[in-house]
Amino acid sequence: MKPGFIYILANKNNTTLYVGVTSNLLQRIERHKSKFYPKSFSARYNTNKLVYYEAFQDIGAAIAREKQLKAGSRAKKIALIEKENPDWQEQKVLALGKLCDEENLDKAQFKALIDTYIYSGQEPIKDDVFKCLDNRPSILKAREIGERILSKMKEYVQVFIEGMTG
């Protein structure tokens, strides 16, 4: 089963919206940003800011959701965006912030850890993960917390980084 994503892009002033579907979210967003298809709607109207997305296990479900969103009113799309992303920030930034907030991680340190992981290809050791935490976990909880954070980090990289380079 091939996974899928629906996404909503906005222009700089959030006045124009674009709804799309893809199996590789970040590669597709990068194509929008680079105006890979120069005559497309998104290129003409500069809709290249990812303001909303949903992930699906199956591309067919994503396509059905895209049709549903496209058939809906602009007001419904705006309500959907504002429920999840009231400030209309780029989703990558939101995802990193959410992960850091959920796990009480120092954002700058954790971002540096992610960057090292991306460029070296080596999974960080749990001790490096713990250095990003506000408080080091007890020995009894260290393994569980370390594995959970590493898992979330890998998921973040898979969704927001690997798609751009893959």
What is the average pLDDT score of the chain?
Answer: 89
- 103 and 46 inside one domain: no
Domain that holds residue 37: 4-89
Question: What percent of the chain shows pLDDT beyond 90?
Answer: 60
- 47 and 65 inside one domain: yes
- 51 and 121 inside one domain: no
CATH value at residue 65: 3.40.1440.10
pLDDT attached to residue 165: 43
Question: For residue 3, which of 18, 31, 27, 22 has the smallest C-alpha distance?
Answer: 22
Residue 163 confidence class, pLDDT cut points 50, 70, 90: low
- Of the candidates 29, 59, 89, which is a domain's last residue? 89
Determine the average pLDDT of the residues in 57-69.
95
pLDDT attached to residue 166: 43
Is a pLDDT exceeding 90 seen at residue 162? no
- 15 and 72 inside one domain: yes
Is a pLDDT exceeding 90 seen at residue 90? no
Q: How far apart are CA 165 and CA 29, in angstroms?
A: 12
- 42 and 104 inside one domain: no
- 103 and 72 inside one domain: no
Determine the average pLDDT of the residues in 106-120.
87
pLDDT attached to residue 92: 79
Residues 6+ apart with CB under 8 A from 10: 16, 17, 18, 47, 49, 51, 81, 88
- 20 and 72 inside one domain: yes
Tally of structural domains, the chain: 2
pLDDT attached to residue 40: 96
Residue 101 confidence class, pLDDT cut points 50, 70, 90: confident
- Of the candidates 39, 56, 89, which is a domain's last residue? 89
- 109 and 157 inside one domain: yes
- 50 and 28 inside one domain: yes
- 75 and 100 inside one domain: no
Is 0.85 surpassed by the pTM of this model? no
- 100 and 85 inside one domain: no
Is a pLDDT exceeding 70 seen at residue 71? yes
Is a pLDDT exceeding 90 seen at residue 151? yes
